[in-house]
Amino acid sequence: MYEGSGQTIHDLSGKGNNGVLGSTAGADANDPTWIKGILFGSALRFDGNDFVRIPAGGSTLAPKQLTVSAWIRGTAGGQYNYIISKGANGCQTSSYALYTDYWGALRFYVQDTNGVTRLSGGAVPANVFNGKWHHVAGTYDGATVKLFVDGKLIPLSATDPVPPAGPGSINYNNSTTGDAALGDFLGTCDLFYTGDIDEVAVFKEALPIDRYYAALALLFPKPLR
């Protein structure tokens, strides 16, 4: 998100997965606002009615294993707010998503081809949506879903659903859309996020986020807030 202005965010991987701000190619009421980024350049501010749409992108946004990461900043998690999502089935699920659950806790999930939602542990809203920048990342290695906040694994709680045993393929056969989004769920209901998003990335493997964040902290020894 280095652009700082305009209607397009460019995919620096060279895969062409560029995003378009708002609901039209021109400026409209669903456009997020350009702001200063956490590390370099710019970021986007979503006011609860904004989104970025990224066309389906073929296999590059639909890997068998993946890591989805971003820097986010907000003051309230809210209920069912989607930060990053891929595809949509009605008003039900995405193929994968970083979102807030019923209690406002940040989670990551993938929906497998058996219709099972493989859910990560939940990060307490007050630890994430406190007006400071936080690095969030969800990973899936083909069997296990994990969520990391500032490089720390968020464990499952005793009340979380028991994860399914064994591997599972992610369901990319979405009935409503295959497009990805920032700041919203692109299904038959709108589930908007309120806050800032920067440095979004999708990788085709489950990365060791704890080691990645530790290396980043060495480069930026002052608190990243």
Report how far residue 24's alpha carbon sits from residue 169's, in angstroms, rounded to the nearest whole number.
33
Question: What is the DSSP-derived secondary structure letter of residue 47?
Answer: E
Q: Are 200 and 70 in contact (CB under 8 A)?
A: yes
pLDDT of residue 220: 59
pLDDT of residue 219: 63
Q: Which two tokens stand for residue 208?
A: 């060791």
Report how far residue 75's alpha carbon sits from residue 96's, in angstroms, rounded to the nearest whole number.
24
Report how far residue 172's alpha carbon sits from residue 10's, in angstroms, rounded to the nearest whole number.
23
Classify residue 97 by burial, with Cβ atoms within 10 Å: 0-12, 13-18, 19+.
buried
pLDDT of residue 221: 54
Q: Are 129 and 76 in contact (CB under 8 A)?
A: yes
Q: Which two tokens stand for residue 66?
A: 């993946």
Could you give all domains of the chain from N- to C-terminal order, each with its CATH number? Answer: 8-219 (2.60.120.200)
Q: What share of the chain is helix, strand, coil (3-state, %, to 5)?
A: 10, 35, 55
In whole angstroms, how far apart are CA 16 and each of 6, 21, 194, 196, 205?
A: 17, 16, 27, 23, 19
Give Cβ neighbours of residue 161 (< 8 Å, ≥ 6 apart).
117, 119
DSSP 54-121: E---GGGG--SSEEEEEEEE-S---SS-EEEEEEEBTTTB-SEEEEE-TTS-EEEEEEBTTS-EEE--
pLDDT digit of tens for each residue in the chain (225 aa)?
889 999 999 998 888 999 999 999 899 999 999 999 998 789 999 999 999 999 987 788 999 999 999 999 999 878 999 999 999 999 999 999 999 999 999 999 999 999 999 999 999 999 999 999 999 999 999 999 999 999 999 999 999 988 888 999 999 999 999 999 999 999 999 999 999 999 999 999 999 998 888 777 666 555 454
AA identity, residue 130: N
The predicted model scores a pTM of 0.93
Classify residue 216 by burial, with Cβ atoms within 10 Å: 0-12, 13-18, 19+.
middle
